[in-house]
Amino acid sequence: MKQNQYKLYRTQGLMLALLFVLSACHQEKSNVPHGTTNKKNEVQVSVVHPVLDQPYFSLELPGELKAYEEVVLYPKVKGFVKKIMVDRGAKVTKGQLLVVLEAPEIIQQYMSAKSDEQKFQEDYIYSRQSYERLKKAALKSGAVAEIELDRAKSKLKKDSAAFISVKAKTNASAQLQQYLKITAPFDGVVTEKNVSAGALVGDGSQVALLTIAQTQKLRLTVAIPEKHAQSIYNGIKVSFTVKNYPGKTFSSNFSRKSSVLDQKSRAVVTEFDVQNQSGILGGGEYAQVKLNMRRPSSTLWLPASSIVTAQSGVFVLKVENGLAESVPVSLGIRKGELQEVFGDINPQDHVVKVGSEELTPKTKLLIK
């Protein structure tokens, strides 16, 4: 029986020794950072070279469709709405009469100005004829005193100036009459009608008569974030969808952009003209826009596995004279397994393919 106990204790001791050895091996293996360590304490790593590339990439952003032109019509003069020819939703053409106002005092002012103009015109004609007769008579020596000729010439100039002044007032009064008729400034559709016949408008009243929008052509406006603002180029094409027509895709081309970054949104407002002769789009819709963009010049790309994100920041590890060196980087766009990076690296550098926080700076590295 003692012999059996001895064998049992011996077996347990061997098992404990084996477990200790396995634990030590596991501990040693866990201390090796993403590579194998040789006798010189060098960590073997795989490296890659940053690649210069200028690929196209897609970006999805919200946008808004707006009328290509839109105007709110206010009356220039005070008056009553005599007749309004259109209603909300009506299509109008450039120059079409929309609203007629009635202002009797303006008509009276014009008639008074016209009467004054006629009177001063007759005075001017009489003065001119008198001066011409005296001037002709003065050709005979002693027939007309020189002072009489000068007096006639002075009266002619005075009457001429008075006639020109009154004629200008008549033209101004006539122009006020033109303001009583309001016409469409361009082809479009009436989107708002705020008054009816008989309403008093103008001269301090802030009520607009009509709002007209041009919808045969629309503006698709998209705010491009600051980090992508330089990726907009002439000829860029976009596709977009709207909730009104699920499953239908529309397209457009780049038209213009603001050159200054908006300080509130930190974005560049970009416009794409959308042809809408069919009228399928009304304007005012929100759109989901897909842009096919490209950097203006080539940038550096690395495998996403090379990027290390830690509490201290985002960095990559490059091999410099056999030692690990941490290089802070900022990230751009990502395409598949490749990540765009910006930092103090170049295409000739050896960057660790699989980065890790365990590879601290000055760690001895051996390139596989």
The confidence score (pLDDT) of residue 28 equals 41
For the chain, the structural domain boundaries read 31-54+298-367, 60-69+213-294, 76-183
Pairing status of strand 323-335 against strand 299-303: unpaired
Cα gap 193→85, rounded to integer Å = 11
Domain 60-69+213-294: homologous superfamily in CATH:
Efflux pump adaptor protein, beta barrel domain (2.40.30.170)
Instruction: For residue range 177-220, list pLDDT tens digits in order.
Output: 888 899 999 999 999 999 999 998 987 778 899 999 999 999 99
Give Cα 44 to chain centroid, integer Å: 51
C-alpha span between 126 and 10 (Å, rounded): 147
Residue 27 has pLDDT above 80, yes or no: no
pTM above 0.75, yes or no: no
Contact, 322 vs 363, CB < 8 A? no
Residue pair 229/267 in contact (Cβ under 8 Å)? The answer is: yes
Phi and psi at 210, nearest 5°, equal -145, 160
> What's the pLDDT score for residue 184?
95
Q: Which of 40, 44, 50, 144 is nearest to 351 (CA)?
A: 50
User: β-strand 56-73 against 338-343: which pairing, if any?
Assistant: unpaired
* Average pLDDT over every residue of 75-82: 90
Q: Which CATH architecture has domain 31-54+298-367?
A: Beta Barrel (2.40)
Alpha helices, H only, 138-213: 146-178
pLDDT tens sequence across 135-187: 887 777 767 777 877 888 888 888 889 888 888 888 877 778 888 899 999 99
Residues in Cβ contact with 85 at an 8 Å cutoff, skipping those fewer than 6 apart: 96, 97, 98, 99, 100
**Amino acid identity of 238?**
V
Distance CA 185, CA 19 (A): 92
How do residues 319-367 score in pLDDT, each as one tens digit? 998 899 999 999 988 888 999 999 999 999 999 999 988 888 888 888 8
Instruction: Label the pairing between strands 365-367 and 43-45.
Output: parallel
DSSP label of 226: G
